[in-house]
Structure 1
Amino acid sequence: MTGIEQVHEGMQVVGSDGARVGTVDAVKMGDPGAVTTEGQQDPREPGLLSFVARGLGGGPELPRQERERLLRVGYIKLDKAGPLSGSAYLAADTIDRVIDDVVHLAVPGKIS
């Protein structure tokens, strides 16, 4: 396997250009059967999807289709490296391969 199934907390993440992106903080496996996000949030807690939206730079208004896609394909929560430190969420389909405990992305290492 060369995807999210091999990813675990603490792994380094690098872009397709070799730039260090950050460290895996958490992994969420996808649910291919997830068609909608309705009813998947406890009203007493901040929504996971709002955290995903902020992490992706889309603010709380990340389009519903993108939130639902992340639930279907899975994602990794990333502690970003460099001057733009913080968290980001990367869809599992951005993972190119996993080699020697390093996640290599199929996209360049500039994560906003």
Structure 2
Amino acid sequence: MGLGGGGAGNRAGMEQQGIDQRAIVSRVTTGMRVVDSAGIDVGTVDLVQRGDPNAVTVQAPSADPGSSLDELIESAATEEPDVPADLAARLLRTGYLKVSTELVPTGAVYVPADRIATVTDQEVLLNALTTDLPSES
């Protein structure tokens, strides 16, 4: 029984989990109702972002005075997800939902893909409480 075999098994398990999360996220559409693990209606899905396992860092766009007009317009646009960089990188890797809600002052929360328990035809059921979800910055 060598130690090397366990690492490969764990890696395969993590890859399978990532595939499962992407499959779940792909079943979500904008406008769906979102309900947390306590049965509280969180709000509605505004944005569905599938995970990109290759997303490593999030860089703020730089507004260089010599940039083209298109680049300046792009740099002025709000970047998603609007959360601290370390959390944004994790959300981009795993996938997430942006949910409009009246339960937080900023008006939106982000649901990491691993917080989605099930997806039905009309709603997304979470395995987390609304208070555990990151709010938009």
Change in Cα spacing, 1:7 to 1:33, as seen in structure 2 (3 Å) is: same
Alignment of 1:7-46 (within 5 A): 7-38=28-59, 44-46=75-77
Deviation at 1:66, TM superposition (A): 1.4
Q: What fraction of aligned residue pairs are identical, expressed as a percent?
A: 35
RCO greater where, 1 or 2, for CA within 8 Å and sep 6 or more?
A: 1
TM-score where L is the length of structure 1: 0.74
What residue in structure 1 maps to residue 79 of structure 2? Answer: 48
Please tell me the root mean square deviation across aligned C-alpha atoms, in Å: 2.7
Secondary structure of the corresponding residue to residue 124 of structure 2:
strand
Runs of 4+ in 1 over 6 A off after TM superposition: none
2:126 paired residue among 90, 105, 111: 105
More helix by share: 2
What residue in structure 2 maps to residue 5 of structure 1? Answer: 26
Secondary structure of the corresponding residue to residue 82 of structure 2:
helix
Uncovered stretches (5+) of structure 1, i.e. residues with no partner: 54-61
The number of residue pairs the alignment matches comes to 102
After superposition, what is the alpha-carbon deviation per residue over 1:11-42, rounded to whole angstroms, capped at 9, x for unaligned?
00000111100000111111011122237786
More strand by share: 1
Are positions 1:95 and 2:124 aligned together? Answer: no
Further displaced range: 20-29 or 86-95: 86-95
Secondary structure of the corresponding residue to residue 89 of structure 1:
strand
